[in-house]
A and B are shown apart, each in its own frame.
Chain A
Amino acid sequence: MTQLRLDKISVSSYHESFLNYSDSTTIITVSGSIPPGSTVFSAPITFLRSSTICDIFYSHSSIPGKRVFNTGVPLQRTDFLQPGRIIPNIRYTTDGAMIIVEVFNPGSSYTIPTQTYTIYLVQYSAPISL
């Protein structure tokens, strides 16, 4: 069996890598009157799991940059709505994932400024059998 010192090698033909498989974008718009309690905004993303793993990122319309959903837990964002909070999350389904943006409002009804979440799904093939 071949053995390699991988630290100084850019590409190894003796090992697999993450092969780009598919990517897509979904928009969730959060707007309107938010009653006390929590309000859920959601959008499905349909994809086939077939031998793939995925990362799902999101960005917010008024905050620069892109954050990752499922390899970090940046879910407790308190800076979008004070004193409430907005928590984006993922619930995987049999044919994809449901992206959930949940707005928590501890006070009286509140009209939230319109804001959008852009969801980026990135799938790569990996040497797995599911």
Chain B
Amino acid sequence: MAKKLKKLAPQPEVVETVETTAVDASVDASTELSPEEGLDRSRSAGAPDGAGEPNAADTPETSDNAETQDERTDSAAGQADADASAVEPALPSATNARRPLPISLPRVLLDGIVRKNPVLVAGLGLVPALLLADAAAALAVGVCTTLALLVTSLAASLCGQYLPEKFRPALFTLIAAGAAVALEFAIGELLPDLMPRIGIFVALIAVGGLTLSRAEYSTARPPLDALVDAFANGIGYTLALTLIGALREIVGRGSIFGVDVTFGVLPPMNALTTAAGGFILVGLLAGAIQGLRLSRARRRAAKVSKKSNDKEVSA
């Protein structure tokens, strides 16, 4: 089956210089859906989970690097932090003297929110997306997940590489469970009304695929990289959950954030508030995002082929 997984996800094998675990490969196997997507990933500097940044810093990339230059000048404070973290001997790369730019903030954010959205593209952390037909609760679960992700990724970045590889997933899950308990306690104290609605989802953050995959990604990466990645994924997760929750609440219950918006004109479609409706809605949204990505990749390919044709004609 390991062979099968490798067949399914050939891209990481080619691009990766950092070793990845089979968990990553299995996650990628589900997310590597089409050749276009593979192309897209190999083109972007922060390629698949667990690959990437060391490579991006070492190998010059023409257009991508031009883009990152601008970002570098934009975030001076972030750069200061980044330089501080780049001094740490956390990267397994051989040439980790002083990386000029460990991360590109807008790209990581874009990846987390759209291109590799945890729910709609990677299919991770689906439970609240499938069950919550309630925008406020979905938003709360998203924020809790972001906080848990930040804690777990930071811990993985700081001590992940010193843990034995075999027990890493289990220990990361334990750390996430600690974060989930703290969050449950905080919600119980601060927002007791919300607790019965979201309690179980906050507990499930501990074993969700999202925390584990981000922790695996953050292992042996500088803390700033890990935090930015966790933040981007958390924001992407929160936005996706809130969108799904709001859509289901509007159509399924005729209200949003508890406020009636249909004024009795549209009858509520209760089917959308069940798990079945959640499956179908998430599937449709994921299909829409994949369709957008495919059409974008096709347009880009057409542009490239047109350019090469023009060059041939002029020559």
State whether these chains interact: no
Q: Which B residues are within 8 Å of any A CB, using their own CB?
A: none
Q: Which A residues are within 8 Å of any B CB, using their own CB?
A: none
